[in-house]
Amino acid sequence: MQAEFAPQVLDQAIYWLVKTQSGAAEPQVFTACEQWRAADPAHEAAWQALQMTETTLRQASVLPARVALDTLAGSARLRSRRQALKVLGLGMLGAGAGALALQQQPWRSFAADYVTRVGERRAFNLLDGTRLQLNTDSAADVLFTGQQRLVVLRDGEIFIRTGQDSAATSGRRPFWVHTREARLQAIGTAFDVRQESGRTRLMVEEGVVAIHLPQGRPVRVQAGSEYLIDAGSAQPQSASTFIANGWASGVLMARQMRLQDLAQELSRYRHGWLQCDPAVSELRVSGVFQLDRIDHALEGLSQSLPVRIQRRTGLWTRIVAA
């Protein structure tokens, strides 16, 4: 669903909400916020849209604050990634297998240790306690020796949460991920690595990952940062339009994403062609898309944007102007 205000208005509304809730805001801040809200009906609409969350949170205030806080901190802890995936793992057989059995690169399934088909996502516990998750259409090798732990990403995308390696006899072994472009050293971390055409995308969720390039000093990437690495350099990315590791929870989260980019991203998860007509490719989309229900998500687009979905046989889908 698209709200009826521009993205920059949403940005401004968020700015004012952040400023007025600091607990130390001067009266002028509140006055300026009031003036901003009054200046344009769209401003007020955006402000009200944000209040829906505030209202939901206030409903928890009948509880002693500590109880609400402990519950919501605890629920996140209890619902660890591992458990969530166990539930989401149901989707692997359900959504993926019904589709066409097009194997794009059949050699991979023989060559690599860990493989997923299009539309499939899988998770593995490695011997050192590491959690390895493979996104759609991905392949990786796991090569552990007495001295080091190495994961080779052959294609697609992985999310790794490194383990304690407590069983190792000579202390914790270094953990490496190799892609076509880079060698990445994980330093007690959770991170996402994606092999794209001619480049590697790295998103660090926790801890630090060091990028080792053929030349120069390693680049240390901190939690929350995203980098694109090509043959010679590593560049930080600031304005990502989707959350890189949402897939690990079964969703694609878009923030003002170009429709063209969204279509391309969604097409990774399904068979057949998914194309976006140039006339609508620049439309912006925000939302959360269930990766197991992509056709449902596409139908949703036609309700929120001036587009419709054109299908020819099961193989060919186009997003065109309504």
Partner 1 sequence: MSPSPPNSALLHTDVHSLYSDHHGWLVNWLRRRLRDTDNAADLAQDTFLYVLGKPEQVAYLREPRAWLSSIAKGLLIDRFRRQKVEQAYLLAIAHLPEQEMPAPEQRLILLETLTRIDALLDGLKPNVRTAFLLSRLEGLGYQAIAERLGVSVSSVEKYMATAIRHCFLARHAL
Is the Cβ of residue 55 or residue 215 nearer to partner 1 in the bound state?
Answer: 55
For partner 1, give the closer residue by CB, 278 or 314. Answer: 314
Distance between alpha carbon 65 and the CA centroid of its chain, in Å?
A: 31
Choose among 85, 137, 139: nearest CA to 111. 139
Q: Which lies closer to partner 1 via its Cβ, residue 66 or residue 217?
A: 66
Taking the CA atoms of residue 254, residue 258, residue 260 and residue 266 in that order, the dihedral angle to the nearest 10 degrees is 0
Query: Which value, in Å, is the radius of gyration of the alpha carbons in the chain?
Result: 22
CA atoms within 13 A on the CB side of 76: 5
Burial class, 33, CB count within 10 angstroms (exposed 0-12 / middle 13-18 / buried 19+): buried
Pairing verdict, β 307-312 and 316-321: antiparallel
Type and span of the H or E element at 46: helix 41-59
Please identify, using beta-carbon distances, which residue of 229 and 243 lies nearer to partner 1.
243
| Least distance between partner 1 and beta carbon 190 (Å) | 10
Q: How far is the CB of 199 from partner 1 (least distance, A)?
A: 25
Q: Which is closer to partner 1, CB of 23 or CB of 198?
A: 23
Task: Quote the CA–CA distance of 116 and 39 in Å, as a whole number.
Answer: 52
Closer Cβ to partner 1, 213 or 223, answer by number: 223
Q: Which residue has the tokens 């860990």?
A: 114
